[in-house]
Amino acid sequence: MPESPASPSAAAPHRSPRRTPNIALPLALGLFTIGLLAIVAIFLTPILSDAKPGLWLYLVAMVATPAGLLLAIGFTLWSGRRVR
């Protein structure tokens, strides 16, 4: 038996609610990438310029890499939860 147009099931198909875009994953990937680039620069600086890397390069590597990794793990755990 065909359903009447007024019935709720004849309306648009049921869609899951859209989640708002989250900035945490791109931020985590950006921080981690910046940290890795700082580590590479630390190793390349003495080879290419015969100088010691600056303190700021060590600080960026020490802060950005683990912060990006922890933020990515936190985002993954948070986004993997099922909506009830």
Angle CA 30–33–37, to nearest 5 = 140
Angle CA 2–6–8, to nearest 5 = 85
Q: What is the pLDDT of residue 81?
A: 74
At residue 83, the 3 state secondary structure works out as coil
Q: What is the pLDDT of residue 22?
A: 85
Q: pTM, whole model, 2 decimals?
A: 0.70
Per-residue pLDDT tens digits for 37-83 = 999 999 999 999 999 999 999 999 999 999 999 999 999 888 887 66
Residue 35, pLDDT > 60, answer yes
Which of 5-14, 19-28, 42-51, 61-70 has the lowest average pLDDT? 5-14
